[in-house]
Amino acid sequence: MKNWHLALMGLAATAIFTIANGAELDQATKEDITRHRAMAQAHENAAKCLESGKSDAVCEKQLQVECKGLGIGKFCGMKHVH
């Protein structure tokens, strides 16, 4: 009985590992991942812009250009407090 349980647990672990690491992503998910990465890059560029000493208005305008078509609204899908 113990060997059967061990075998079953091993099979379950293998199945979970295979599903977690080998699952093929659908096209919509791949596109969503690409958009998230593009938005993250645009926000990183905005942070670097601010670090360079440029004004918030200049950096926000740059962010809006880089995020056009990616996020919802004029804040690239993200708004926070200043």
Counting the structural domains of the chain, the total is 1
DSSP state of 24: P
Q: What is the pTM of this model?
A: 0.62
CA–CA gap between residue 56 and residue 58 (Å, rounded): 6
Please indicate, yes or no, if residue 29 is contained in any of the structural domains. Answer: yes
Radius of gyration over every alpha carbon of the chain, rounded to an integer in angstroms:
22
Please indicate, yes or no, if residue 54 is contained in any of the structural domains. Answer: yes
Please indicate, yes or no, if residue 61 is contained in any of the structural domains. Answer: yes
Residues 6+ apart with CB under 8 A from 49: 58, 59, 62, 63
Mean pLDDT, residues 2-15: 56
42: burial class by Cβ within 10 Å (0-12, 13-18, 19+)? buried
pLDDT at 13: 63
Please indicate, yes or no, if residue 65 is contained in any of the structural domains. Answer: yes
What would the pLDDT profile of 17-61 be if each residue is shown by its tens digit? Answer: 555 555 688 998 999 899 889 989 999 999 999 999 999 999 989
Domain extent at residue 59: 24-82
